[in-house]
Amino acid sequence: MVIKSVFTFLKDEQYRSLILATALVLVIGTVVYHYLEGWTWLDSLYFSVITLSTIGYGDFSPQTDLGKIFTILYIIVGVGLILGFINTVYSHFRDSNQESKSKK
């Protein structure tokens, strides 16, 4: 049932666009942090995901002024997109689950 939901999610063009936009924002953050802060690629991706998911463990933080400015803008743009993505995925799975229950 979960696999079927994933495939129906990926078939929808709007969902694919949302996945692409989310991935693009994460890639941009990863590249910027890698070069501005000198972090490894994995650390940069980790910080991007943790920041945009609003978890914010605090184990990494930008040390350069440009990194701090970028982070402010990154959060403003990215948090809404990531939360929208999470909400859309949740809604899709909830609706799929309700449809499968109503068919029984």
Q: For tokens 């979960």, what's the residue? A: 2
DSSP 56-88: --SS----SHHHHHHHHHHHHHHHHHHHHHHHH
**Nearest alpha carbon to residue 79 among 53, 50, 44:** 53
Name the CATH code of domain 13-92 (choices 1.10.287.70, 1.10.3720.10, 1.10.40.50, 2.30.29.30): 1.10.287.70
Write down the pLDDT at residue 2.
60
21-56 per-position pLDDT tens digit: 888 999 999 999 999 999 999 999 999 999 988 888
| Range in 19-23, 24-28, 79-83, 100-104 with the lowest mean pLDDT | 100-104
On average, the pLDDT of the chain sits at: 86
DSSP state of 53: T
Non-local CB neighbours of 16 within 8 Å, separated by 6+ positions: 10
CB 82 within 8 A of CB 25: yes
Q: Is the pLDDT of residue 1 over 60?
A: no
> Which residue reads 């940069």 in tokens?
44
User: Would you call 50 helix, strand, or coil by DSSP?
Assistant: helix
Amino acid at 4: K
